[in-house]
Chain A
Amino acid sequence: MMNANEEGMYMKTFTMRNLIFLMILLISLSVKAETGEIANEPAGNTSLEVLESEPPSEASEDVAPVALSVEELKKKVIELNRDLFILEEDLLFPANTQFAVFVSLDTGKFLQLDSMKLKVDGETVAAHLYTERQIKSLQRGGMQRLYIGNLKTGEHEITAFFDGIGPDNKAYKQAATTKIMKETDIKSLEIKIKDQSSNFEPSIEIVEWD
């Protein structure tokens, strides 16, 4: 039903909520101890009485505008972040020279991906060591932007390498090379790592996107 993380979060939240319960119980008990009321009441009345002591609602009302404001600020921050991202991209990677490489992983049954390396015209431009969470994200359909940079117009050689644990739990490496023609519009490539059912091995392929 839940994975370990979710279960952990469940439990922690559970604990915190019960602290609320516990603490509210305490307030009433303490007050009654001071005034000596408890002695005149049924002893076990504690849990029922104390639960009526809810946190003061005024405090919640004080907090509400801040919460609303936080949501509005979040919206504004996301918009600002977006515009600054676009500015950054326009400035650093103009469309006429922009070159981006993405990585996708199809199921990954025959490969436990460890790392990727990318070479452009024989020069290493990007390398990445994957975390477990990133691998899962790729396996579920996410695409990682491995590299973004600038490339002159003309022909270029692109080579992608990956490392990992392949079939039979053995170290596995593979590479793919392709030649591309960079023109004056954005050039995007996808490095596709796929499972090949024909030989039960992973394969790598570089695909150009329009």
Chain B
Amino acid sequence: MQKVFCFLLLSLVSLFGMNSVLADVENSSAQVIHAQAKDLKYGSVLYELYQGHAFEALSALNVAKVRGGITGHNNHPALIEGSLMLAYGMTREAKALFESLLLNEADVDNVFVSEKARNQAWFYLGKVLMLEQDMQGSWEALQHVNSNELSQEQPDIFDEWLYLKTLISQRLSVQEDQNSLQQTTKKIAKQPLTLAQIQKAYTNYKQAGKTEKFYNWLYENGEITKEAAELLSKSESYIWPVYFRYNKAVELLHDQRYDIANNFLQALVTDLSKWLVTDVVNSAELLALKDQSLLSLGQLQLVQNDYEQALTTLKRIKIESVFSDQALFTYAVAASHSKKFGLALQALNTLKDRELFSPWRQQAPYALAYLYEQLGEPDLALEAYSVAVSHYENLSVKLEKDQADVTEKKVLDALSLQEKSIEQDLLSDQEIVLALGRNRVANDEYGYLQVDPSDFNYAELLATEPFQLSLRDLHELYKLKFSLSRWEDQLSSFDSMMVTREQLRTQRINETLSVMASQKSEQWIEQQKLFSLEFDREAEAENSEFFMDDDQRDYLSIIQRMTKNLEQLPKGEEKDNFERKIKRMAAYFSWWIDDRYSVNLWASQKQLNGLTRAVDQFKQRNAVLKKHVSSDDVNQQFFERIKEGRARLSNMNVELEKNISLASASLLVLVKEELGRQREETQNYLLAASKARARLSDVLFLNPTDASSQSELHPKEGVK
């Protein structure tokens, strides 16, 4: 029975206590970050995060890290990353990150993580650890939360925090009761309270207007934990306390304190009925809770042999409720005990005609036949037993065949995946198909798929944790595979792009080489070299004529031309006069170039230096160009990166395929086991129905008139 409580509690914990991690992550992030992002990369991450795209946001965050990180937001990006990991199902990574951030003793002044953000992070870490069933760790993390600040800043989270603490403290105290550990969060009860004591105390406290002290009184008497008392008295929400109350009722059932449990459940149903009228927003949740409470109450009343009350209670469950099948069967059992066989028959017939939940239907043929027998209708009973035998035979054959032929496709075909709303513009062509691994498949915050059985042989299996986990893993693996599929195409396009680039490059290289050839660059370089040598030689010889400037060259040219013209003149006085004049000019010229020698040398040197630099630059560029022509480092690096990316992608795909095979095999094992179990169960029904048919046939054959009385001698084959 202990397992009963733990299992239910765990289910409720994971269901109700932690069912909105992503939503919380998104909401909390809004409060963690500054109103406007101070870094474009961070803004992009938030854009993906707030749309619930955890994978894209994580990828963007990782890219940002490589691109120099995010500035201006202290450790908040790391907190966001932890939250995203949590939302993406990377709980171990998230845990490590949260712990490294929050247990950073250097940040005593909360510089890197504000008090508010720190508070929230502890809260989420507590959730992560709870998800991993580390109750002690979760408890310690939740204890770090500053309750005053949380209650003022975020009352909604505060209520949930109280609820989580309540559940964990309950779990820990259960463990401590079992293991006699030192720390206890629950007072040891001296003597369990009676219903009368509780009712009296409640009345007294209520009359005194101190209802909250009633919860403390319950705590003082070891009925509830301190945290539960706090939750019940401080929570401004009624949803979380309702879940606690239901859990408490289950705990009381477990302890066989039926009167108190009955009272608890009745009070809960009354409150839920009241809130259903006023709370339209949460009506679906409240209605489901109410139906569940009614079912538990009805079953409890059955245990207490209060059949009439059980019938009244179960009648209140709506026919379209998810619990109605179970309620119908319980109703049939209660009616049978009340000797209201007609009502029992009606309930079983209703159940039989339903398509859902084949396990209930499996019982119905046998139970119907039994009821006919109880009603004193042996002929009808015999016919019904025959129908039951036939039904179980067919079912057994089908199950055997299904078990032998089970494949992943068949399993997936037998499941009806629920679709989540997703922006149409985000749907690729592949996404149009609703299949495992697609984003359109609805799942809860922990990745559990929202799926209904289309083949009801799978209904029972589908509801089990291992199958849900296997299905979730398979879905996640397919999702990973699809998330990488775009890169296959992209890398191929990169290849094409690189080939095109290579072709363009070759073309440009040819053009460049052609231009370089036409420039006759080698010749110019040689000339510069010769000129430089000549310059050095003439400078050493101090040849002033060599370094003449343009004016001097013009002047020399005039003298030379005049001298030449003079040679053609006949001898005489006039010629002598010109010769003297030219000599004076030549003398002046000689003085002039000597006088300007150093200036001209410097000017020439300057020009030579300029030319040398230009040639050197040309040589360098030429060398770079030649290097580029001969090797292609940039493109080569890209080629290498593409090649490496392709190899990694290929390895990843192999790894994914391997894991998909494993997950698929694990799923099939579960299915085969389940089908085998169902077949075994059906065989038992078949055996029971066959025996009953044989017995009744014998009785009818031997003494038809005594058949009805004889049948009552064999109640063990019946269903009550």
Which residue on B lies nearest to A22, using beta carbons? Answer: B326
A90 vs B52: C-alpha distance in the bound complex, in angstroms?
27
A7 vs B334: C-alpha distance in the bound complex, in angstroms?
34
Expressed in whole angstroms, the minimum distance between the Cβ of B210 and any Cβ of chain A is 27
Is the pair A85, B638 in contact by a Cβ cutoff of 8 Å?
A: no
Contacts of B33 in A (CB 8 A): 141
Is the pair B63, A85 in contact by a Cβ cutoff of 8 Å?
A: yes
- Stretch in contact with the other chain, from B281-289, B376-384, B698-706: B281-289
Contacts of A104 in B (CB 8 A): 36-37, 43
A8 vs B494: C-alpha distance in the bound complex, in angstroms?
43
Contacts of B52 in A (CB 8 A): 133
In the complex, whether B205 has a CB less than 8 A from a CB of chain A is no
Is the pair A35, B684 in contact by a Cβ cutoff of 8 Å?
A: yes
Is the pair B337, A43 in contact by a Cβ cutoff of 8 Å?
A: yes
By size class, the interface of chain A is: 35 or more
In the complex, whether B666 has a CB less than 8 A from a CB of chain A is yes
Known: A16-B448, A18-B323. A143 touches B484 (CB 8 A): no
In the complex, whether B162 has a CB less than 8 A from a CB of chain A is no
Contacts of A54 in B (CB 8 A): 3, 7
A42 vs B477: C-alpha distance in the bound complex, in angstroms?
47
- Stretch in contact with the other chain, from B137-145, B433-441, B466-474, B555-563: B466-474
Is the pair A46, B716 in contact by a Cβ cutoff of 8 Å?
A: no
Is the pair B305, A7 in contact by a Cβ cutoff of 8 Å?
A: no
Is the pair B322, A19 in contact by a Cβ cutoff of 8 Å?
A: yes
Contacts of A27 in B (CB 8 A): 359, 460
Q: Which of A1-44 contact B (CB under 8 A)?
A: 1-2, 5-27, 29-31, 33-36, 38-40, 42-44
Contacts of A17 in B (CB 8 A): 11-12, 14-15
- Stretch in contact with the other chain, from B88-96, B100-108, B146-154, B592-600: B88-96
| 0 or 1 for each of A140-154: is its CB under 8 Å from B? (1 = yes) | 111111000000000
Contacts of A11 in B (CB 8 A): 284-285, 288
Expressed in whole angstroms, the minimum distance between the Cβ of A11 and any Cβ of chain B is 5
Q: Which of A61-109 contact B (CB under 8 A)?
A: 62-63, 66-71, 73-88, 90-91, 100, 102, 104, 106
In the complex, whether B4 has a CB less than 8 A from a CB of chain A is yes
In the complex, whether A56 has a CB less than 8 A from a CB of chain B is yes
In the complex, whether B201 has a CB less than 8 A from a CB of chain A is no
A23 vs B643: C-alpha distance in the bound complex, in angstroms?
52
In the complex, whether B301 has a CB less than 8 A from a CB of chain A is yes
Is the pair A63, B469 in contact by a Cβ cutoff of 8 Å?
A: yes
Contacts of A138 in B (CB 8 A): 47
A201 vs B638: C-alpha distance in the bound complex, in angstroms?
49
In the complex, whether B386 has a CB less than 8 A from a CB of chain A is no
| 0 or 1 for each of B665-683: is its CB under 8 Å from A? (1 = yes) | 0100110010000000100
Known: A63-B666, A66-B666. A22 touches B7 (CB 8 A): no
The residue that B303 contacts in the complex, of A6, A15, A42, with Cβ under 8 A, is A42
In the complex, whether A45 has a CB less than 8 A from a CB of chain B is yes
Known: A26-B460, A129-B425, A145-B44. A66 touches B484 (CB 8 A): no
Contacts of B459 in A (CB 8 A): 19, 23
Is the pair B50, A142 in contact by a Cβ cutoff of 8 Å?
A: yes
In the complex, whether A136 has a CB less than 8 A from a CB of chain B is yes
In the complex, whether B687 has a CB less than 8 A from a CB of chain A is yes
A82 vs B64: C-alpha distance in the bound complex, in angstroms?
9
Known: A36-B716, A71-B92, A84-B490. A19 touches B50 (CB 8 A): no
In the complex, whether B325 has a CB less than 8 A from a CB of chain A is yes
Contacts of A68 in B (CB 8 A): 92
Is the pair B688, A33 in contact by a Cβ cutoff of 8 Å?
A: yes
Contacts of A10 in B (CB 8 A): 16, 19-20, 285
A36 vs B370: C-alpha distance in the bound complex, in angstroms?
12
A27 vs B363: C-alpha distance in the bound complex, in angstroms?
11
Is the pair A143, B11 in contact by a Cβ cutoff of 8 Å?
A: no
A38 vs B717: C-alpha distance in the bound complex, in angstroms?
9
A62 vs B33: C-alpha distance in the bound complex, in angstroms?
41
A47 vs B460: C-alpha distance in the bound complex, in angstroms?
16
A65 vs B239: C-alpha distance in the bound complex, in angstroms?
36
Expressed in whole angstroms, the minimum distance between the Cβ of B377 and any Cβ of chain A is 19
In the complex, whether A60 has a CB less than 8 A from a CB of chain B is yes
In the complex, whether B720 has a CB less than 8 A from a CB of chain A is yes
In the complex, whether A131 has a CB less than 8 A from a CB of chain B is yes
Q: Which of B11-61 contact A (CB under 8 A)?
A: 11-12, 14-16, 19-20, 23, 30, 33-37, 40, 43-44, 46-52, 55, 58-59
The residue that A33 contacts in the complex, of B7, B326, B366, with Cβ under 8 A, is B366
Which residue on B lies nearest to A209, using beta carbons? Answer: B40
A76 vs B55: C-alpha distance in the bound complex, in angstroms?
12
Expressed in whole angstroms, the minimum distance between the Cβ of B611 and any Cβ of chain A is 30
Which residue on B lies nearest to A107, using beta carbons? Answer: B35
Which residue on A lies nearest to B469, using beta carbons? Answer: A63
Which residue on B lies nearest to A137, using beta carbons? Answer: B50
Contacts of A15 in B (CB 8 A): 288, 322
A29 vs B307: C-alpha distance in the bound complex, in angstroms?
18
Known: A16-B450, A52-B1, A78-B62. A143 touches B35 (CB 8 A): no
Known: A34-B687, A44-B302. A141 touches B466 (CB 8 A): no
Known: A39-B718, A40-B716, A142-B50. A87 touches B15 (CB 8 A): no
Is the pair A23, B463 in contact by a Cβ cutoff of 8 Å?
A: yes
A7 vs B684: C-alpha distance in the bound complex, in angstroms?
42
Known: A1-B239, A141-B37. A133 touches B423 (CB 8 A): yes
A40 vs B717: C-alpha distance in the bound complex, in angstroms?
11
Which residue on B lies nearest to A188, using beta carbons? Answer: B40
In the complex, whether B300 has a CB less than 8 A from a CB of chain A is yes
Contacts of B648 in A (CB 8 A): 80, 83
A25 vs B4: C-alpha distance in the bound complex, in angstroms?
11
Which residue on B lies nearest to A128, using beta carbons? Answer: B425
A209 vs B44: C-alpha distance in the bound complex, in angstroms?
14
Is the pair A48, B30 in contact by a Cβ cutoff of 8 Å?
A: no
Is the pair B463, A22 in contact by a Cβ cutoff of 8 Å?
A: yes
Expressed in whole angstroms, the minimum distance between the Cβ of B190 and any Cβ of chain A is 26
Contacts of A140 in B (CB 8 A): 30, 46, 50
In the complex, whether A134 has a CB less than 8 A from a CB of chain B is yes
In the complex, whether B310 has a CB less than 8 A from a CB of chain A is yes
Known: A14-B288, A66-B470. A44 touches B322 (CB 8 A): no
- Stretch in contact with the other chain, from B180-188, B511-519, B566-574, B656-664: B656-664
In the complex, whether A190 has a CB less than 8 A from a CB of chain B is yes
In the complex, whether A120 has a CB less than 8 A from a CB of chain B is no
Expressed in whole angstroms, the minimum distance between the Cβ of A150 and any Cβ of chain B is 13
Contacts of A143 in B (CB 8 A): 37, 40, 43-44, 46-47
Q: Which of B245-300 contact A (CB under 8 A)?
A: 253-254, 281-282, 284-285, 288, 292, 295-296, 299-300
A44 vs B652: C-alpha distance in the bound complex, in angstroms?
54
In the complex, whether B535 has a CB less than 8 A from a CB of chain A is no
Contacts of B36 in A (CB 8 A): 104, 106, 141
Contacts of A73 in B (CB 8 A): 477, 480, 652, 655-656, 659
Contacts of B666 in A (CB 8 A): 62-63, 66
Known contacts A88-B490, A133-B423; 13 additional CB pairs below 8 A are A10-B16, A18-B322, A22-B322, A39-B719, A45-B303, A47-B253, A48-B254, A54-B3, A81-B484, A86-B63, A87-B645, A141-B33, A142-B51
Interface residues of B (CB under 8 A from A): 1, 3-4, 7-8, 11-12, 14-16, 19-20, 23, 30, 33-37, 40, 43-44, 46-52, 55, 58-59, 62-63, 66-67, 88-93, 156, 237, 239, 253-254, 281-282, 284-285, 288, 292, 295-296, 299-305, 307, 310, 322-323, 325-326, 329-330, 333-334, 336-337, 357, 359-360, 362-363, 366-367, 418, 423, 425, 442, 444-445, 448, 450, 459-460, 462-470, 473, 476-477, 480, 483-484, 487, 490-491, 494, 497, 638, 641-642, 645, 648-649, 652, 655-656, 659, 662-663, 666, 669-670, 673, 681, 684-685, 687-688, 715-720
Sample of 20 A–B contacts (CB below 8 Å): A5-B23, A22-B357, A26-B359, A30-B681, A34-B687, A44-B303, A47-B295, A51-B1, A59-B670, A67-B469, A73-B659, A78-B59, A81-B59, A84-B491, A85-B63, A87-B494, A141-B46, A142-B50, A144-B47, A188-B40
